[in-house]
C-alpha cells in the first residue's frame, strides 16, 4: 500500500510538471509514512511542503493541486490536507479486510517483491581462516550474512553466496608447522611447543590422525633437523621469529611433497569441520573460493601487473609498494616483501579483481569490525585497476561477546581457549543463536546472554515469537478436537465482523509486512525483520488473551480464524527468512 501510494503521488507530480508547474533544484523523493494516530488517517506525506519551496507556491495550495492530479484508483476512501500541507490518506476498513484473503492466497509468497529487478549481488561472509574451528565471534557474521542474503533474494535480487578460503599464507604455514610439531611429539620427540603455534586440541587430533595413517613418514632425526634452532623458545626473544623459524625448518626438512601433504591434511580437516558447522547452522554457499588458486593460476601476478600498468606500483627498500595513499588510503601498502614473498593484501587485490571480472552488479563484503581500516586500501585497489569502487559495499559486524555469569570468556584461536560455534549451538540451539545474533544492528556491540537464550519465558524474544505461532496452531487443534467443520467462505463473507481494536492492530501489521521486509532488505538490516516479528507476536498474544476464537457464533468464529491463520502465515514467512523454525507446539 505504501509504495502504491508513492507511485500515485509520483504520477501526480509528473502531471503537474507537464502542465507547466516547475520545481527548481534536485528532485524531491516521494515518501509516504504510516500515521500513528488514527484521526490523521492511515498514511501521510509531506511532499507538498517539500516541493512548495522549489515551486514558489503555498504548500496547502500545492497539496490541493497534487490531490487533484492523483490518478483514479481505489486504494483509499478519502484524502485530506492537514496542518501546513500534509496529505493524509484514509484507507478504510473494507480495503484492509481484503488483505486477509490476499495473505492466505499468496502463502509463502506474501511479502516478496521485485524491487531488486534481478540485479546480481555477490555476498562474501564469514571467510574465517581455516586454522581452527569457528568460534562464537564468527557466528554473528554467519547469521548476519546468511539472513542478508535471504532478504535480498526476497526483494528480487539474484544473490551469489561465497566463502573466501585463506588457504595460503603465513597463518596456514604456522598451522602446518604446529601439526608437524604435535606429530613429532607423538613420536617421542622432546621439545617445548612454541607459544605462537596453534595449540588447540584439534591440532593434536589432526596430528594423531596423520600418525595413524602414515606411521613414521614425517619423522626425521631431530638432532639434524633442529641444527641451529633452539629446542626451547628463547626467554624474552622474538616469538614470531621463533615460530617462523619452525615453519622454515618444516619446509626444508619435509621437502615440497611431504610438506604439502601435511599442510593439506591440516587444511582439509579444519575446512571440512567449518563446512559442516556452517551447514548445521543454516549457512550454505554457492562457491568456496580458494586463495591458493589465485596464486597458482597467476591471478596475483596479473593484478600487480594491472597496478603497475596504471602507474600505482613502485619499488623502495627492495620491496614493491602500492601507492594507495594517492587514492584515499592513509598510507602506501607493501604488496611484495624484500624476500620476494607476496603479502596477504596482494592476494586480496587479486580476489577483488576477480570479483569485478565476474561482472556482478553489486559486491558485498561482510567483515569483522576490526577490518574497518582495511576498506580504503581495497577501494583504492579497485579504482587503480580501472574498476568502480562504488560497486563494493562493506558491512561491518561487531563480534559477539559471550559471558558465563560475570566472567567473560576469552577467545584465541592459537591458544585454543575459545568457545566454538558448535558448542554454542548445542547449548542454546540453532534457532536461539541465529535470532540473538541478528537481533541488533550488526555494527553494534553485543553481549550474548546464554541464560536468556535458553529460557522458556516471554522475556526470551525467540521463544516469544515462536510461541505466538504455536498458540495459533493450538487453536486449530482445539477446533479439530471439537469436531467443528471449517467454513472459509462464511469467514471471508464475515470479515466485517472484525471490529475489535486488537483485530485492527493485527491487520495493520499484516499490511505493513511487505514494506518492512523490503526496508530490511535494502538497508541490509535483519534486525528490522526481528523487530517486526516481535511486534506481530505481541499483538497476537494480546489478542489471544483478550478474546475467544472458538465462539458459538460461526460467522465471527470463522472470521477470527482467518485472521489468525493470516498471522500464522506471516510469522512463518518471517522466520523462514531468518532460517528459524516455527514449531506447532511448545
Confidence of residue 410 (pLDDT cuts 50, 70, 90): low
Q: Which of 186-190, 403-407, 581-585 has the highest mean pLDDT?
A: 581-585
In whole angstroms, what is the distance from residue 491 CA to residue 212 CA?
A: 69
CATH number of 97-116+457-578: 1.10.730.10
The string of pLDDT tens digits covering residues 107-124 is 999 999 999 999 999 999
- CATH class of the 2-91 domain in this structure: alpha beta
pLDDT above 70 (res 232): no
pLDDT above 60 (res 230): no
359: buried, middle or exposed (CB in 10 Å: 19+, 13-18, 0-12)? exposed
User: If we measure between CA atoms, which residue out of 206, 172, 198 comes closest to residue 412?
Assistant: 198
In whole angstroms, what is the distance from residue 433 CA to residue 392 CA?
A: 29
Least confidently predicted of 25-29, 250-254, 314-318: 25-29
Confidence of residue 234 (pLDDT cuts 50, 70, 90): low
| In the chain, ranges of CATH 1.10.730.10 domains | 97-116+457-578
Q: What is the mean pLDDT of residues 330-341?
A: 93
Q: What is the pTM of this model?
A: 0.88
* Maximum Cα–Cα distance across the chain: 95
Q: Hunting for cell 584461536 — which residue is that?
A: 413
| In the chain, ranges of CATH 3.30.1360.70 domains | 2-91
The string of pLDDT tens digits covering residues 145-158 is 999 999 999 999 99
The string of pLDDT tens digits covering residues 429-459 is 999 999 999 999 999 988 888 888 888 999 9
Q: What is the pLDDT of residue 409?
A: 63
In whole angstroms, what is the distance from residue 341 CA to residue 357 CA?
A: 25
Q: What is the mean pLDDT of the chain?
A: 91
In whole angstroms, what is the distance from residue 210 CA to residue 203 CA?
A: 11
Edge to edge, the sheet with strand 333-336 lists: 313-316, 319-322, 333-336
pLDDT above 50 (res 55): yes
- CATH class of the 122-166+282-397 domain in this structure: alpha beta
Say if CB 429 and CB 498 are below 8 A apart: no
Confidence of residue 299 (pLDDT cuts 50, 70, 90): very high
The string of pLDDT tens digits covering residues 455-489 is 899 999 999 999 999 999 999 999 999 999 999 99
- Count of beta carbons in the 10 Å neighbourhood of residue 346: 25
Top-confidence residue, 195 or 104: 104
Strand pairing category for 287-290 and 120-124: unpaired
| In the chain, ranges of CATH 3.40.50.620 domains | 122-166+282-397
The string of pLDDT tens digits covering residues 65-97 is 999 999 988 778 889 999 999 999 888 666 778
Q: Buried b / exposed e across 387-418, counting CB within 10 Å, b at 16+?
A: bebebbeebbbbbbebeeeeeeeebebbeeeb
The string of pLDDT tens digits covering residues 281-291 is 999 999 999 99
Amino acid at each position: 500500500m505504501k509504495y502504491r501510494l508513492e507511485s500515485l503521488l509520483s504520477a501526480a507530480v509528473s502531471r503537474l510538471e507537464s502542465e507547466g508547474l516547475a520545481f527548481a533544484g534536485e528532485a524531491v523523493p516521494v515518501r509516504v509514512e504510516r500515521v500513528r494516530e488514527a484521526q490523521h488517517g492511515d498514511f501521510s506525506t509531506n511532499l507538498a511542503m517539500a516541493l512548495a519551496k522549489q515551486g514558489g507556491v503555498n504548500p496547502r495550495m500545492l497539496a490541493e493541486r497534487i490531490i487533484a492530479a492523483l490518478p483514479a484508483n481505489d486504494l483509499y476512501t478519502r484524502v485530506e490536507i492537514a496542518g501546513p500541507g500534509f496529505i493524509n490518506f484514509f484507507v478504510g476498513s473494507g480495503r484492509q479486510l481484503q488483505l486477509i484473503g490476499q495473505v492466505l492466497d499468496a502463502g509463502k509468497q506474501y511479502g516478496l517483491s521485485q524491487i531488486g529487478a534481478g540485479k546480481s549481488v555477490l555476498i562474501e561472509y564469514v571467510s574465517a581462516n581455516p586454522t581452527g574451528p569457528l568460534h562464537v565471534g564468527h557466528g554473528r557474521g554467519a547469521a548476519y550474512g546468511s539472513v542478508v542474503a535471504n532478504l535480498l533474494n526476497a526483494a528480487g535480487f539474484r544473490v551469489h553466496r561465497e566463502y573466501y578460503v585463506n588457504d595460503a599464507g603465513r597463518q596456514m604455514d604456522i598451522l602446518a608447522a604446529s601439526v608437524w610439531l604435535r606429530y613429532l611429539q607423538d613420536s617421542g620427540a622432546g621439545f617445548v611447543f612454541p607459544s605462537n603455534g596453534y595449540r588447540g586440541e584439534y591440532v593434536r587430533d589432526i596430528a594423531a590422525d596423520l600418525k595413524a595413517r602414515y606411521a613414521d613418514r614425517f619423522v626425521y632425526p631431530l638432532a639434524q633437523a633442529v641444527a641451529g634452532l633452539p629446542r626451547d623458545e628463547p626467554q624474552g626473544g622474538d616469538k614470531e621469529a621463533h615460530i617462523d623459524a619452525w615453519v622454515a625448518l618444516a619446509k626444508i626438512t619435509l621437502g615440497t611433497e611431504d610438506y604439502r601433504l601435511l599442510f593439506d591434511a591440516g587444511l582439509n580437516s579444519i575446512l571440512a569441520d567449518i563446512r559442516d558447522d556452517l551447514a548445521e547452522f543454516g549457512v550454505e554457499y554457492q562457491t568456496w573460493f580458494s586463495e591458493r588458486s589465485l596464486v597458482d593460476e597467476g591471478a596475483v601476478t596479473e593484478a600487480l601487473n594491472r597496478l603497475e600498468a596504471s602507474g600505482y606500483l613502485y619499488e623502495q627498500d627492495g620491496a614493491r609498494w602500492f601507492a594507495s595513499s594517492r587514492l584515499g588510503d592513509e598510507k602506501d601498502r607493501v604488496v611484495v616483501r624484500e624476500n620476494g614473498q607476496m603479502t596477504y593484501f596482494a592476494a586480496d587485490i587479486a580476489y577483488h579483481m576477480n570479483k569485478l571480472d565476474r561482472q556482478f552488479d553489486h559486491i558485498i563484503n561482510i567483515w569483522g569490525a576490526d577490518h574497518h581500516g582495511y576498506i580504503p586500501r581495497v577501494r583504492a585497489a579497485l579504482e587503480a585497476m580501472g574498476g568502480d569502487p562504488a560497486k563494493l559495499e562493506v558491512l561491518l559486524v561487531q563480534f559477539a561477546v559471550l559471558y558465563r555469569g560475570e566472567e567473560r570468556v576469552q577467545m584465541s584461536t592459537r591458544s585454543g581457549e575459545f568457545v566454538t560455534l558448535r558448542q554454542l549451538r548445542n547449548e542454546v540451539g540453532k534457532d536461539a543463536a541465529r535470532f540473538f545474533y541478528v537481533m541488533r544492528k550488526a555494527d553494534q556491540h553485543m553481549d550474548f546472554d546464554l541464560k536468556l537464550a535458553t529460557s522458556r519465558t516471554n522475556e526470551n524474544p525467540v521463544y516469544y515469537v515462536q510461541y505466538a505461532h504455536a498458540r495459533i496452531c493450538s487453536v486449530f487443534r482445539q477446533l479439530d478436537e471439537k469436531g467443528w467443520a471449517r467454513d472459509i467462505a462464511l469467514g471471508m463473507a464475515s470479515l466485517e465482523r472484525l471490529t475489535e481494536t486488537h483485530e485492527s492492530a493485527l491487520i495493520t501489521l499484516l499490511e505493513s509486512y511487505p514494506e518492512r521486509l523490503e526496508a530490511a532488505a535494502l538497508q541490509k538490516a535483519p534486525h528490522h525483520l526481528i523487530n517486526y516479528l516481535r511486534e506481530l507476536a505481541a499483538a497476537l498474544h494480546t489478542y489471544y488473551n483478550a478474546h475467544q476464537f472458538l465462539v458459538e457464533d460461526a460467522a465471527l468464529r470463522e472470521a477470527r480464524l482467518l485472521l489468525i491463520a493470516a498471522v500464522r502465515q506471516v510469522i512463518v514467512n518471517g522466520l523462514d527468512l531468518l532460517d528459524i523454525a516455527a514449531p506447532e507446539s511448545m
